[in-house]
Amino acid sequence: MTEAQRTPLIAGNWKMNFDHLQAIAFVQKLAWMLGDAKHDFDDVEVAVFPPFTDLRSVQTLVQADKLPIAYGGQDLSTHALGAYTGEISGRFLKKLDCTYCIVGHSERRYRHVESDETVAAKTKAALEAELVPLICVGETAKDLERHEPSAVPANQLRGALLDVKPGTDFVVAYEPVWAIGSGAPATPEQAQNVASVLRRVIAQSLDEETAAKTRILYGGSVKPDNIVGFMKCPDIDGALVGTASLDVDAFASIVRYKKHATY
Ligand code: PGA
């Protein structure tokens, strides 16, 4: 599979924003705007990652109106069931028809001290629940002082893929921690350099075929005015968008990046 055959994915990570009523209003407006613009969802896939408490509302809306928008959880438990107060099982997310689940977002790794082992266990839990894990990796500014840019993300990805079999469907998001929410994204060149190393990690950990078909997203201060630069990179197949995914005009504009690209 080549770059041209991988369907780009534009994913909105809402983090802890929007209650279920706001989620409904947002998804309705997004679907209306993209429908009005005749967006081809087979050409560029769209997914949102609402808080857990919004997912049932999003599911109901998406199914009632047959919206071509995918959705997923922002995290999941390493366990399937049991005495884990406050945790959410991948099985519950699957039951809500989630397609994806984010694992290893830097805010989980650093604020909730999730290790590479935890991220590997969550990746496994997502796959066992038949969810597509969206595995986030990325280096901090401190890591960059000590290592070359791809060293930490490559190690994190190797760790997350320990229990993953060749051929498995998953997505990788390269998100330099220093670029998240900072308004200062990586350059497309920096992002491409790391993304190409991550694709090699997939080939080494699994196989070439899996590496060729896996979508690698860039995340970190993606905006309508910088998305095109990232999408021109041969190893970048989409974006994981935080701040700009909360503004329906900005997010729809990122989804429709081909309309403002001069290829
Ligand atoms: P940002 O967040 O777009 O606000 O930088 C990206 C993310 O954390 O996924």
163 C-alpha to ligand 1 centroid (Å):
27
Q: What is the pLDDT of residues 174-195, one digit of tens each?
A: 999 999 999 999 999 999 999 9
Mean per-residue pLDDT, 231-242: 98
Measured distance CA(27)–CA(36) in Å, rounded? 14
Q: Is 222 in the pocket of ligand 1 (CB under 6 A)?
A: yes
Continuous segment of H or E residues that includes residue 172: strand 171-174
Q: Which of 105, 107, 114, 139 is catalytic?
A: 105
Q: Is the pLDDT of residue 263 over 50?
A: no
Confidence of residue 261 (pLDDT cuts 50, 70, 90): low
Measured distance CA(57)–CA(59) in Å, rounded? 5
Coil vs helix vs strand at 249: helix
Q: What is the pLDDT of residue 132?
A: 98
C-beta separation of 41 from 6 below 8 A? no
Q: What is the pLDDT of residues 96-121, one digit of tens each?
A: 999 999 999 999 999 999 999 999 99
Atom of ligand 1 nearest to the CA of 240: 9
- Which residue among 218, 222, 223, 247 is best mutated to probe the pocket of ligand 1, counting the most ligand atoms within 8 A of its Cβ? 222
Which of 89, 82, 11 has its CA nearest to residue 47? 11
240 C-alpha to ligand 1 centroid (Å):
7
Least confident of 62-66, 129-133, 135-139, 257-261: 257-261
Q: What is the pLDDT of residue 4?
A: 75
Indicate the domain borders of the chain.
Answer: 3-260
Bridge-based pairing state of the strands 45-49 and 171-174: unpaired
DSSP secondary structure of 54-93 = GHHHHHHHHHHTT---EEEES---SSSSSS-TT---HHHH
Neighbours of 124 (CB within 10 A): 18
- Active-site annotation holds for 260: no
Cite the beta strand spans of 199-253 per DSSP E. Answer: 215-219, 238-241
82 C-alpha to ligand 1 centroid (Å):
32
Q: Is 143 in the pocket of ligand 1 (CB under 6 A)?
A: no
CATH, domain 3-260, list 3.60.9.10, 3.20.20.70, 3.40.190.10, 3.40.50.300: 3.20.20.70
Q: Is 73 in the pocket of ligand 1 (CB under 6 A)?
A: no
Q: Is 34 in the pocket of ligand 1 (CB under 6 A)?
A: no
The model carries a pTM of 0.97
Q: Is 221 in the pocket of ligand 1 (CB under 6 A)?
A: yes
C-beta separation of 248 from 30 below 8 A? yes
Atom of ligand 1 nearest to the CA of 179: 5
Beta bridge partners, 47, equal 11, 70
Q: Residue 192 — φ and ψ, nearest 5°?
A: -65, -45
Q: Is the pLDDT of residue 13 over 60?
A: yes
Residue 180 is encoded by which pair of tokens? Answer: 């998240």
Q: What is the pLDDT of residues 45-81, one digit of tens each?
A: 999 999 999 999 999 999 999 999 999 999 999 999 9
Measured distance CA(225)–CA(202) in Å, rounded? 30
- Active-site annotation holds for 148: no
- Please give the angle made by the CA atoms of 40, 46 and 52, to the nearest 5 degrees: 150
Q: What is the phi-psi region of residue 26: left when phi exceeds 0, alpha when psi lies from -120 to 50, beta otherwise?
A: alpha
3-state secondary structure 114-142: CCHHHHHHHHHHHHHCCCEEEEEECCCHH
- Which residue among 13, 48, 100 is best mutated to probe the pocket of ligand 1, counting the most ligand atoms within 8 A of its Cβ? 13
Coil vs helix vs strand at 46: strand
Q: What is the pLDDT of residues 194-213, one digit of tens each?
A: 999 999 999 999 999 999 99
